[in-house]
Structure 1
Amino acid sequence: MAVTHRSLSIVGESSFGSLGTDGVPSPSGLTFISIPCERDPIVVPGEPPVSERTEARDGPHGLPPELDTTSVGGTRQQRRTGSLSVRCDFTTLGSSAANYDATALGLLLGAGFSRTIPGAASDTVTAPASDNRFTPTAAASFKLGGLIGIELDGRAEYAHVTSVNAGGSGDIGYSPELSRALNTTAPDVVRLLETWFVARGTNSGSVNSSVAFRVDGVGVRSYAFGCKLESLNITIDGGRLMGDFVFQAAHIYDDHGSASGPIEPTTLTGSTPHFRSCFLRLSSTASTSRTTVAGPTGDELDKIDLAVSEFDLTVTNTLTPVGSSSSLIGMSDMEVSDVVVECNITVDTPNTAIANDFRDGVIRSLLIGSGPVGAGQGMALNMPGAYLTVDPQIRQIDGEIVQQRLTYSASRFGGDGGSTDAANSPFRLALGI
């Protein structure tokens, strides 16, 4: 008898599927990182693609199906495909590394999104400019469309960078506004966050890299190659932000003869983001959803804070195989051919400022923060152009208090002053460095 202690490890692929010279995926040369994820979703995944034989027959019998295989050196190699589920929180970098590139969390996100890394972890305000601008120490450190964070009055606040040369003056522009204008009284120190985003335009479908997984247990070892993110669902568990990731694998195979037992996860040293001491914030109307701003100055919008008890956000990628017969896996890539982003919000104090948004098709920025924010800490989610798919005038009265339940989807956005990095992307997820 063997106990089912098990672990799941991940590695970034330098080429899709990690193919060997024989066209078969191979773990040779790959260094896996054990993921600090929940144990229950870790299973040996996949099903072999088969072609059922329906030939003529002389009686009431069946025939063995034909499996999807190739021959390497005279030996049949069998293909298996399927999905893998990973559930983990978003514990941040802390002092573990300079960025998330070589971390399990960074690899999980990078298999579904593009990403941009700021030039520095923080920047000090050298002069106030307006409610949506400040003069930085080093403007070159900021990434257009990237998220920034700061602690104001003990609360974590976030915004996204809409200009790296606002008004042509070298100021940083951001939206929506914070609780107060940034200034030099303390002076304010702004945290720059590594930002993953849904690519758009000519970069549509781009992700940082595909990944490979390895399942390890007692007498068990299985690999999954050519994996990309199919969906990510972010929820709240006792205040803690949790991510349920689902990946599609191009090829899965077992190597139980090489099993060496489960691997203790590699943990990061930062804080675990909680939906506490933070804000879920809408902006004033984003007039640039169907147009694109001209010049270096982007949107600089006001804010509306919602009294929220819970939310969940889901990103769903449509993965389309790019066919290729030159390898066992039968594809050269899995392209992200479409993306849908949706956020469900429960508001415990119904907000009347958005009462007619569904009727009028109003677009607003939606920004969800978490606490704490600081060196190597912080997490935020952003749909810079979000529209309602339900009527906010409907009140939920089936519970103990009157609530407003909102559902937002990601729209086009054109309010960033430029086209570099994460500019005008429809969705961003950012973590502190």
Structure 2
Amino acid sequence: MATGLTTPLTESLGCRHPIVQTAMGWVADSRLVAATSNAGGFGFLAAATMTTETLRREIAAVRAATDRAFGVNFHMFQPNANEVIELILDNADRVRAVSYGRGPSAATIRRFKDAGVLCMPTVGALKHAVKAVELGADLITVQGAEGGGHTGAVPTTLLLPQVLDAVKVPVVAAGGFHNGRGLAAALAYGAAGIAMGTRFLMTAESPVPRSTLQKYIEVDDPARIRASTAVDGLPQRMIDNPFLRKLEQGGLLRRLFVALFSAWRWRAHTGMSPAQMVKTFFAALREGDGAIQTMMAANAPILIQRAMVQGHPDEGVLPSGQVAAVLDTLPPVAEVIEAIVREAQARLAALGALSRPCGPPAAASRSGEGEEAARSAVAHAQTKEST
């Protein structure tokens, strides 16, 4: 078993490795979260697509399957947000962190902090990172454009250093990570660890039906995993498929029809009454959101559910980071984490060897001492890990 890598992330969350499993709607369930936490990472439950009772059961299932801490993700715009918050606080002895996009108020964040629950929002822009810290975030996950689902336009290699320079809290890098080289690179940038979604989606413990996972295995061109605004009006990275193209080409009337259907289906899932739907709609209008985009907000969870839960990948959408194009197996979570940590330790050892004092350039050139030292460092690290 690989030894742990200690960073501000592991110290804050109490995990052994600086690897976070993100909260993918319909995917990050109790089994995946428990497997991640048991393997030394830190897993987030995707409460944004759960009813209150489902979340209650899922939290209990994680507690029963692991003695490690875990996290819960939610959004303030979901109908049961207040109930989710109370459930999290009731389980604050094990729920170590919460993640979110559009964040809760400063007062709610204070309630979490008073209960010992860390606030760890995910952002895709520099200004959002700064604002999140101002509101009280303890850690920040920064997702570059390579990431799956809702994403920004700035690649990780540009966004990550910008945020690292702008905030004083630990920063977790997301978007494009799937192996030990990526973890070593993120740590070299100054990040406290990495967060991955697609890599965990493509594991043995993933609840996604095999018919849908096969689409992730088959995609081999990163260009086929692209961002589109057709689902809910916001950029969302997905695997290209016939349904997405039909949605994009269908025009306003087709999008409106799909939006209305999705909104009604989502109302039934959450228990939201027609009156609450109308109230939410007009509240969004007052805040300046477009009416169509407001109704389209229900599209994402319903269209994702069709593919990711019901197993009909050509009748829904497939959120994915571009890394799916370089992944073609479904290994166990423990194997994924172990391999990432081992490779990261080997790369860090090799980098450390490059900084040692070296002799005259001519002598090094004749004997190949520099390359040999790097190889020896890697071999030593691997030997040490296996003992």
Both structures adopt the same fold (TM-score exceeding 0.5): no
Q: TM-score, normalised by structure 2?
A: 0.24
Structure with higher Rg: it is: 1
The TM-score, its normalising length taken from structure 1, stands at: 0.22
Specify which structure has the higher proportion of strand: 1
Query: Greater relative contact order: 1 or 2 (C-alpha under 8 angstroms, separation 6 or more)?
Result: 1
